[in-house]
Chains A and B, each alone.
Chain A
Amino acid sequence: MKTFYSKSLLSLVFTAIIAFLFVLFFVSGCKEQDPLRKGRIQIEYWELWTGFEYQAMKDLVDKFNRSQDEIYVKMLSISQIDRKILISTAGGVPPDIAGLMPGFIPQFADKNALEPLDPLMDIIGVKKEDYIDIYWQLGNYNGTQYALPSTPAVLALHYNKDILRSVGLDPENPPQTIEELDAMAEKMMVKRDELNYDRLGFIQTSPGWWNYAWVYFFGGKWFDGENITANCPENIRAFEWIESYAKKYGSRQLQNFTGGFTSPNFDSAENPFFAERLGMVFQGVWLSNFIDKYNPDMDWAITSFPSEGGRLKDSVMAECNLLVIPKGAKHRIEAAKFLGFIQKPENLQYLALKHTKFIPLKLANDIDYTDHPNPHIKEFVRLAQSENIFSVPWIPIWTEMDGEISNALQAVWLQKMTAREVLDHAQERLEDKWDEYKRIKKAIEKQ
């Protein structure tokens, strides 16, 4: 012990630490404070966007801050935002307003983690009749409005016309049925070697964000409002379809192609669709922004997703970025005022242009789109009002359900289990969860 102590070294370490601290305080002291902030009520706004999507909303926040002298909105970009909102709400320190995806609305509302917006509607100043129905409904749980849309989206089949052309397919005749999709995809496939593909036509795991979506194109669903329907015949057919891809192309080879389930390279030039290694993807209206960023020369188009036997016309999925006021937010009224500001058509339109989306209002039908950056925006607006539009299962145990569905899809994709097995399995587990949920709900109501 004696040998390893030297006084000079000790003081050196501590001086270094203290010097480091001073530098840090100096550096952070240089950060300028927004002069608008002074003497105002500050509300905190969390959003899941980054990059240009974040910036577009930030522009509106700045505009709001300049437009009045009572409220100052501080906007923060948060990842895994649903968890952070839940934790901070449970911890009693929620943001005043936050962005949330629709799947979480039932769960959050049911757990009493969201402020109902109905009493604040006068302040917000919007009415149901102005909205495209599905986007209003995505903020509504059991008749109470908990959220309003910031930017809506439609998910459809995006396809690379050049690739279709290069394999002798007509780019003006995209697939209408699942069977056509499969056949076209197979034509586009280019093998590199035993374990790798240079190009594929279509796969269900890129980007792998909407694992629950596929069953709808077979007429299936996960929850009918009363009961779990995970293993209904339509769902099994959908999963057998997914299984057929794993069998046809090989699980190992497909994993190599996507780099596994947890390496989404969506926002990069490596994204197989932008790199023209994937002919068709199921993606949202925002994709045009990213195509412009990574492969502006690509010749692409969209169509509604094919359905089994072509039975569903214009079948697409609705997604939406929503704004909510978490329970226990310190400045509800001010948050509602900001929410009202965002809901003004001109502000929604600003966001829509920057995100290459459309506005959630019926007004979207009457807008002149000649300068819109998304060449297919009109088609998206039309599809948003399709009668075969569907969205995320509306169930308060969504987080658990999502986990089960992802797990089921991965098991099928890796050919660990058959489609029927995984869905029977998921059905059983989800029924347990659902029964437990109802039991607890009853117990809580009694108290």
Chain B
Amino acid sequence: MTNKQKHILKVLAFLSPWIIGFIVFQLYPIASSVYYSFCYYDILRPPGFVGLDNYRSLLTDEVFLHSLIVTGIYAALAIPLSLIVSLFFAILLNQKIFGRGMFRVIYFLPSLIPMAALGVLWKWVLHGEHGILNHILRLLHIPAPNWLGSTAWATPAMVMTGIWAVGGSIVIYLAALQDVPKSLYESAEIDGAGFFGKVRHVTLPMISPVIYFNLVMTIIASLQVFVIPYIITEGGPARSTYYYALYLFDNAFRFLRMGYASAMAIILFLIIFTLTMVTTKIASKKVYYAGK
């Protein structure tokens, strides 16, 4: 065996956990998802090939289209809001302030809370009659909606619950902000830039790679939102929070329509792939990489 072959073997040996894991837990599942999506399959009986039937049914399945729409609405609210909220607090935390460490802990803490506990907790906070949120709103003379009992307010409630756990992004942004050289702000000040001018012309461009990274992660996460609505609303009322992943889950594990669920999974994969590509394309024009 030549040295080169030996080296390759060595590299492969080190890589083997990932190679095996990739094949068994990612490549094989995706390949079989594609296969199942052309089948009728309920696990209890062997899969039967049905061609494009599942995809054809999906096109006329109103609940599928509905779940796509409500997921879209959720994402359209959650993505910009979590971006704005986390950037907002990160920029505030990056000012000269007392007790930055304490504030950082406070903002970060909710993001560590297990989703199940988070769901249970917010179900209580959002409770129409006894919920504390509505009580506070009533104290402030703001009309208190029945969050989880109305089709209009259930999705905003889910978004709010998600925003509460945005602390991870705040910390990431804060770290990025602290890496922005002070000299840039100083020269901007000399050019007469105010607070917002500095944010716009210095801060945002300098941390744009991090924004891009967070954006992609948020897009992926909000399109597969599952745990919080599963716990709080179970998709209701009147399917107003019946998001894509919930319908997929129900098809797979309640109706045992594994083939149909697989077709949905493939479509979800394609949507996420496309959106990520589009974001990357846009980002490649807008994102500023220092030192490149």
Contacts and interface: CB of A to CB of B under 8 A. Distances in A.
Given A255-B146, A416-B151, A261 B256 contact: no
B200 to A, nearest CB: 32
Contact of B151 (A89, A111, A256, A414): A414
A407 B239 contact: yes
Given A443-B48, A443-B50, A259 B127 contact: yes
Interface in A235-284: 252, 255-256, 258-263
B254 A411 contact: no
Most chain A beta carbons < 10 A, residue from B50, B148, B254? B254
A443 B128 CA distance: 48
Most chain B beta carbons < 10 A, residue from A327, A397, A410, A447? A410
A130 interface: no
A86 interface: yes
Interface string A69-109: 00000000000000100110111000000000000000000
Given A83-B253, A262-B148, A414-B151, A113 B127 contact: no
Contacts of A259: 127-130, 149
A295 interface: no
B238 A411 contact: yes
A83 B42 CA distance: 13
Most chain A beta carbons < 10 A, residue from B62, B128, B239, B250? B128
B146 A112 contact: no
Most chain A beta carbons < 10 A, residue from B127, B237, B253? B237
A52 B63 CA distance: 39
A252 B150 contact: yes
B60 A440 contact: no
B40 A260 contact: no
Nearest to A429: B62
A90 to B, nearest CB: 4
Instruction: Classify the secondary structure of B's interface with A.
Output: loop
Interface string B73-105: 000000000000000000000000000000000
Contact of A416 (B149, B238, B255): B238
A400 interface: yes
B11 interface: no
Contacts of A256: 128-129, 146, 149
Instruction: Classify the secondary structure of A's interface with B.
Output: helix
A399 interface: yes
A238 B237 CA distance: 21
B253 A86 contact: yes
Nearest to B46: A447
A24 to B, nearest CB: 18
Contacts, number: 92
Given A252-B146, A259-B127, A260-B146, A400 B255 contact: yes
Interface residues of B, number: 34
A260 B238 CA distance: 11
B44 interface: yes
Contacts of B61: 432
B57 interface: yes
A436 B48 CA distance: 14
Contacts of A425: 62
Interface string B121-152: 00000011110000000000000001011110
Nearest to A428: B62
A444 B43 contact: no
Nearest to A402: B254
A111 B44 contact: yes
B127 to A, nearest CB: 7
Contacts of A255: 128, 146, 149-150, 237
A399 B250 CA distance: 10
B45 A444 contact: yes
B239 A260 contact: no
Contact of A262 (B40, B130, B236): B236
B161 interface: no
B253 A87 contact: yes
A399 B239 contact: no
Given A83-B254, A432-B57, A261 B236 contact: yes
B63 A429 contact: yes
A410 B237 contact: yes
B151 A112 contact: no
21 contacts: A86-B253, A86-B254, A90-B43, A90-B256, A252-B150, A255-B149, A256-B128, A256-B149, A259-B129, A259-B130, A260-B146, A260-B236, A260-B237, A262-B233, A263-B128, A399-B254, A403-B250, A414-B150, A440-B40, A443-B40, A447-B48
Given A261-B237, A403-B250, 7 more contacts: A83-B254, A111-B42, A252-B150, A255-B150, A262-B233, A327-B44, A414-B238
Interface of B: 40, 42-45, 48, 50, 53, 57, 60-63, 127-130, 146, 148-151, 232-234, 236-239, 250, 253-256
Query: 8 tightest A-B contacts by CB?
Result: A260-B149, A255-B149, A410-B238, A90-B43, A260-B148, A411-B238, A440-B40, A255-B146
